[in-house]
Amino acid sequence: MKVITTIREMQFEINRQKNQSISIGFVPTMGFLHEGHLTLIKKARKENDVVVLSIFVNPLQFGPGEDYDSYPRDFERDRALAESGQVDFVFFPSVEEMYPSSPSIKITALNRTDVLCGKSRPGHFNGVATVLTKLFNIVRPHRAYFGLKDAQQVAVVDGLIKDFNFPIELRPVDIIREQDGLAKSSRNVNLLPEERIQAPVLFNSLQTAKMSIESGERNTQNIISIVSKMITMETNGLIDYVEVYSYPQLKPLERLSGTVIVAIAVKFSRVRLIDNLIIEIDEGILE
């Protein structure tokens, strides 16, 4: 495994790989790797000749007052985990390497960003789209792997790939969870001990919503209410949003039908957690 910190060297290595007609799988991350990231890596390893993992805490996607400074970082630990996942190249650039001067072009994510994290984190997806445009151009992967924990991100990346004609296959990966149901996240280390105990309620509330949908509930507001009540009653967290949309279009629904996402974001004292459930509504259940 090779660690690369400059764009120039990364492009040189990619050129070398491309000359050998080799397929490249790319896993972009912000590091502090966990089982979720490793699952993306495993899938990339299975489907490609070469696996590139990027580790970059992208300042552009953090708003003022968000957790850019306190975002957990541990490169040596990440390096060992990447090695164990048989990554070929770790791209680990500095902020100065990625953004050496103020930009002359701005990328604005327009679609599907007026809801969920796009609404509560203004500019977040512009930052995501900008860094991914750069990373896609540097790594030029055949396939790129993204987790459905960030389901809105998957939808936005799909738009980015299509709009800018990146010859990249988007490969979404299911949410990986702790044994108690909490979605794995680098940010979980910033939960206070008592918040860590409460945090699985996010998953439990989604499971309750799922059961309710499976027994025929189709009213969007009722689903939102079930989830919100559980989170309010069983955690000290503050609900940022509990919303239900069609997926991946992220259009509002009065009644559930088709593929639907129930998405939540909850603010704890030092960390904001997100989770979601994507469910195919089987109209047959009602009959």
Identify residues 84-103 at the interface with ligand AMP (CB under 6 A): none
Nearest to 267 by CA among 238, 243, 232, 229: 238
Residues forming beta bridges with residue 172, ordered by sequence position? 146
Answer whether 125's CB lies under 8 Å from 110's CB: no
Q: Closest separation between CB of residue 199 and ligand AMP, Å?
A: 13
The yes or no reply on residue 248 touching ligand AMP (CB under 6 A) is: no
CA-CA distance, 277 to 256, in Å (whole number)?
A: 13
Range 181-210, binding ligand AMP (CB under 6 A): 183-186
Residue that has been written with the tokens 């007052």 in this structure: 65
124 is a catalytic site residue:
no
Length, in residues, of the chain? 287
Give the whole-angstrom CA distance, residue 267 versus residue 102. Answer: 32
**Measured over all CA atoms, what is the biggest interatomic distance in the chain, rounded to whole angstroms?**
61
Among 121, 143, 149, 218, binds ligand AMP (CB under 6 A): 149
Q: Which two tokens stand for residue 34?
A: 């966990």
How far is 84 from 37, CA to CA, in rounded Å? 12
Q: Is 173 in the site for ligand AMP (CB under 6 A)?
A: yes
The answer to whether residues 184 and 34 touch, using CB atoms and an 8 Å cutoff, is yes
Binding segment toward ligand AMP, per CB under 6 A, in 42-50, 104-112, 144-152, 275-283: 144-152
Rounded CA separation 67/59 (Å): 10
Q: Does 52 bind ligand AMP (CB under 6 A)?
A: no
Shortest distance in whole angstroms from residue 145 CB to ligand AMP: 7
Q: Which of 14, 24, 25, 37 binds ligand AMP (CB under 6 A)?
A: 37
- Of 251, 265, 259, nearest to 282 by C-alpha is 259
From residue 16, give the alpha-carbon distance in Å to each of 6, 9, 13, 20, 158: 16, 11, 5, 7, 28
Cβ proximity to ligand AMP: between 107 and 183 the closer is: 183
**Selected range binding ligand AMP among 34-42, 208-216, 227-235, 269-277, rule: CB under 6 A:** 34-42
Nearer to ligand AMP, 92 or 218 (CB): 92
Single out the residue of 4, 10, 24, 40 in contact with ligand AMP (rule: CB under 6 A): 40
Task: For 98-201, list the strands marked E by DSSP.
Answer: 143-147, 169-173
Nearest distance from C-beta of residue 4 to ligand AMP, angstroms: 18
Stretch that binds ligand AMP, among 71-79, 141-149, 201-209, 227-235 (CB under 6 A): 141-149
Selected from 25, 93, 147, 200, the binder of ligand AMP by CB under 6 A is 147
Q: How many residues bind ligand AMP (CB under 6 A)?
A: 17
C-beta of 173: minimal distance to ligand AMP in Å?
5
Contact footprint for ligand AMP (CB under 6 A)? 29-30, 36-37, 39-40, 146-147, 149-150, 173, 175-176, 183-186
Catalytic residues: 37
